[in-house]
Chains A and B, each alone.
Chain A
Amino acid sequence: MAFRDYIRERFFPHIWCPGCGHGIVLNALLHTVEGLGLDRTSLCMVSGIGCSSRIAGYVDFHTMHTMHGRALACATGLKLARPSLNVFVPMGDGDATAIGGNHFIHACRRNIDLTAIVLNNRIYGMTGGQFSPLSGRDVLATTAPYRSIDEPFDIVKLALGAGATFVARTTAFHVREIGNLLKKAVLHKGISVLEVLVQCPTYFGRKNNQGGAVEMMELYRDNTAPLGSKKLEDNPSLIPRGVFREDTRPEYCEEYAKVVARAKE
């Protein structure tokens, strides 16, 4: 099957701005799903609200576009009710770590078999460029005209601390890497958290003098380095990319099946 078969062409053109990084993740996701040859009827996507969450509309999966921050909570119910489903949960950084922060850490803690993708553009895109918990200090945003004073989260560390069993990071510049990591994430049993740094040229780029999409992606190329690389060793201030954890721990749906077995004894 061609990867185009996995999109809902009749709903295009998409709503994203020219140069937005979200489409790159969609592209990688479609190729990954095609490559894995997963059963079509098992494919689900649950998203929240934000530019990134609109991905759900464009994939020909069972798609549930929910409420801001609530995607993982909805996905938890869906997956537990039907554990055979393959559930993808794309989220914006605000979606996942501000309003949805509680659901995020608890989904990680439960280790429920979902593929969570955080599209981190360090800004609230959909609402017009307000700062997010990922913006970090000294960022200009429509609600930080004098620069933000908030410390940022580190999504990777947050996921690790909360107990996620697969945690990885890449960027919109590294398209093939998104695909490779996504593949690992999907095949991983338990929760996988993949952070993808994506450019929002419209708000983050423009407000913070980072230029357009191309310049922003060049920054991802220059400011990041693979885990274990010489580049990272030489310059530890770079943002590390790659797989931070790939562990096995009891998966929630499987553990719940054991509860049922115990209860029926």
Chain B
Amino acid sequence: MSGVVTGKSPAGNPDGAKRGGTAPDMHFVQGNEACVRGAMYAGLNFFAGYPITPSTEIAEHLSDILPRNGGVFIQMEDEIASMCAVCGAALAGAKAMTATSGPGFSLKQEAIGYACMTEIPCVIVNVQRGGPSTGLPTKVAQGDVMQTRWGTHGDHSIVVLTASSVQDIFEITVEGFNISETYRTPVILLFDEVVGHMREKLVVPAPGEITLVDRLYTEVKAGVNYHPYLTREDGRLPVSDFGGVHRYNVTGLFHDIFGFPTENADQVNRLIYHLVDKIENRAHLLARWKEYHLDDAEHIILSYGASARSARHLAETRRGKGDRIGFLELQTLWPFPAALIREKTAHAKSVFVAEMNMGQIAAQVKQAVSKPDRVFLVNRMDGMLVTPSDIGAVMRTVEGRGF
């Protein structure tokens, strides 16, 4: 697609043909499999999960690939246990991931909070389906946006990434691991039934083509006091694995620099600000997005995940007809890139948010822009993909041109 500008994209080369003469490592795969390949590329060596549609293929593929690569695959007794096992494995030094959907994502929330509090790097894939409850197991939805942000109790921050194509799923998965390792935080990859199940071309970058971030280990020597939770300006926290020379405590209670429980108001305050600031203060660094003809756009469609495919299609079609339509795809949902959206939409007459929920991102966009009454939601929650005509109909109405 011409005219696409990618914001802060990982250094991957989506056009494998350019690589020094060798044939590109090309595949025709599902989004879920692209996620698996991305995770393996990023160095995944531990997966714990429990089957649930529409994420199951991730577990199935990993049960094959991980053992072949000497990694661990375990099917746990439920999603709670899967998320817990991921936390345990990550403390032993593993790059660990779990994948789920719908009710399974609800069950993981307790341990996701534990990972936030204890600063355990890990990746959680949520291939969304219709909800609440068992909902629409095999149908598309994007109703978990706020759950990814606030699903676990208490103030905290978290990183949530999305993708709208099979190639993007691969790259954003690698990116997710990198962010998780850099800031020692759970990262949620928020996909949906359509992008998870759809098949497209995937070009796997050569090893080394995308830079990988590995865990930052402490330089403190054996026998010297190591403070596992001594925060640094850059938000990073050098780690020592369980089984290594430093023995320390990890707890979901508020804790001091030794990792020991504390109720000291000062220490509690410092920790909560650290957990939030390390992510929120870096919203600009963590923002990933794609944009299309925003410069002169009168109307901008903002979207993400599967909905972004329809949004982009419509934007392109109407551009072809000479309409000044722009398109902005958010790949980072949380921390919410409010400044980015404010800047990109500053000169637009209206912003249309296309998503498959009751307006979970639209509400954020309204808060971010200077003219919230010019933000319009285009949604669909009947298990069907929001279509270009759905978006077009709302746009025409708002523009006063009828259906």
Q: How far is the CA of A263 from the CA of B78 in the complex (A)?
A: 25
* B300 close to A (CB within 8 Å): no
Closest to B110 in A: A67
Known A41-B244, A66-B252, A102-B77; contact A260-B67, beta-carbon cutoff 8 A? yes
Q: Is the Cβ of A77 less than 8 Å from the Cβ of B87?
A: yes
Closest to A58 in B: B249
Q: Is the Cβ of A77 less than 8 Å from the Cβ of B111?
A: no
Q: Size class of B's contact patch?
A: 35 or more
Question: B96 touches which one: A42, A44, A73, A77 (CB < 8 A)?
Answer: A77
Question: A259 touches which one: B67, B94, B252 (CB < 8 A)?
Answer: B67
A264 to chain B minimum Cβ distance, whole angstroms, is 6
Q: How far is the CA of A264 from the CA of B65 in the complex (A)?
A: 10
B-contact 0/1 string along A43-73, CB 8 Å cutoff: 1101000000000110011111111001001
For residues 73 through 102 of chain B, which have their beta carbon under 8 Å from a beta carbon of chain A? Answer: 74, 76-78, 80-82, 84-94, 96
Stretch in contact with the other chain, from A81-89, A134-142, A184-192: A81-89
Q: Which B residues are CB-close (under 8 A) to A3?
A: none
Q: Which A residues are CB-close (under 8 A) to B82?
A: 73
Q: Is the Cβ of A80 less than 8 Å from the Cβ of B80?
A: no
Q: Which B residues are CB-close (under 8 A) to A106?
A: 76-77, 81
Q: Is the Cβ of B84 less than 8 Å from the Cβ of A77?
A: yes
Known A102-B78, A263-B64; contact A74-B87, beta-carbon cutoff 8 A? yes
Q: Is the Cβ of B92 less than 8 Å from the Cβ of A78?
A: yes
Question: A65 touches which one: B76, B84, B86, B250 (CB < 8 A)?
Answer: B250
* B261 close to A (CB within 8 Å): yes
Q: Is the Cβ of B251 less than 8 Å from the Cβ of A57?
A: yes
Closest to B245 in A: A41
Q: Is the Cβ of A76 less than 8 Å from the Cβ of B85?
A: yes
* A169 close to B (CB within 8 Å): no
Q: Is the Cβ of B249 less than 8 Å from the Cβ of A77?
A: no
Q: Is the Cβ of B244 less than 8 Å from the Cβ of A75?
A: no
Q: Is the Cβ of B84 less than 8 Å from the Cβ of A70?
A: yes
* A103 close to B (CB within 8 Å): yes
Known A42-B243, A77-B48, A80-B89; contact A103-B249, beta-carbon cutoff 8 A? no
A-B contact sample (6 more), CB < 8 A, given A76-B74, A77-B96: A73-B80, A76-B76, A77-B89, A78-B88, A81-B94, A256-B72
Interface, chain A (partner B; CB < 8 A): 8, 11, 40-44, 46, 56-57, 60-67, 70, 73-82, 84-85, 102-103, 106, 256, 259-260, 262-264
**8 smallest beta-carbon distances between A and B, as pairs:** A77-B85, A77-B88, A78-B88, A263-B67, A73-B84, A81-B89, A73-B81, A81-B92
